[in-house]
Amino acid sequence: MAKKNFEESLARLEEITEVLEKGELSLEQSLKMFNEGIKLVEFCHTKLDEAQGQVDLLLKKNGRMEPVPFEPSVKQDVIQEDSD
């Protein structure tokens, strides 16, 4: 299976589920699809778990943009810093 993104994988998973439930495939074909489906379930779960992070604020430091954790409560006068 070529490496797909989450969206394509989920769409393929739903497609496989429907095709299998129609029951028009041979036993061999449906076993093959079942294996692909199970792999997609694992892949999608992994992708969801990987999507974990925090809110970063990009700050200009020495001419480069660097992420720092964003603190919404603190007023950050970034515009001025930008024009330095």
Partner 1 sequence: MHTFHSIRIQSVSELTRSIRGLLETEFPFVSVTGEISNLRKPSSGHLYFTLKDADAQIKAVLFRPQQRYLNLEPRDGQEVVCRGRISLYEPRGEYQIIADTLEEKGAGLLQAAFEKLKRDLATEGLFDPSHKQEIPLLPARITLVTSPDGAAVHDFITMAERRFPHFPLEIYPVAVQGSQAPRQIIDAIEWLNRESRTELIVLCRGGGSLEDLWAFNDEQLARAIYASTIPVVSAIGHEIDFTIADFVADYRAPTPTSAAEAVVPDRDHLTSLIQTCGQRLIKHQKDLIINARFRVRSHKRVIGDPSLLLRSFRYRLAKTSTDIHATLSRKLGKHNRLIFDLAEKLQGRNPGHQLAVTRQKLEGLEKRLQLQTKKYFEKRHYTIRSHAALLDAVSPLSILARGYSITTILPQGTLVRESNQLTIGGQIEIILQRGKVKGTVTAIE
Give contact residues for partner 1 (rule: CB under 8 A). Answer: 5-7, 10, 13-14, 16-17, 20-21, 23, 27, 30-31, 34, 37-38, 40-41, 44-45, 47-48, 51-59, 65, 67, 70, 72, 75-76, 78-79, 82
C-alpha distances (whole Å) from 63 to each of 55, 59, 80 are: 21, 9, 14
User: SS3 of 68, please?
Assistant: strand
Min separation Cβ 14 and partner 1, Å: 6
Nearer to partner 1, 2 or 65 (CB): 65
Q: How far is the CB of 74 from partner 1 (least distance, A)?
A: 9
* Torsion angle of the four alpha carbons 5, 11, 50, 42, in this order, in degrees rounded to the nearest 10: -110
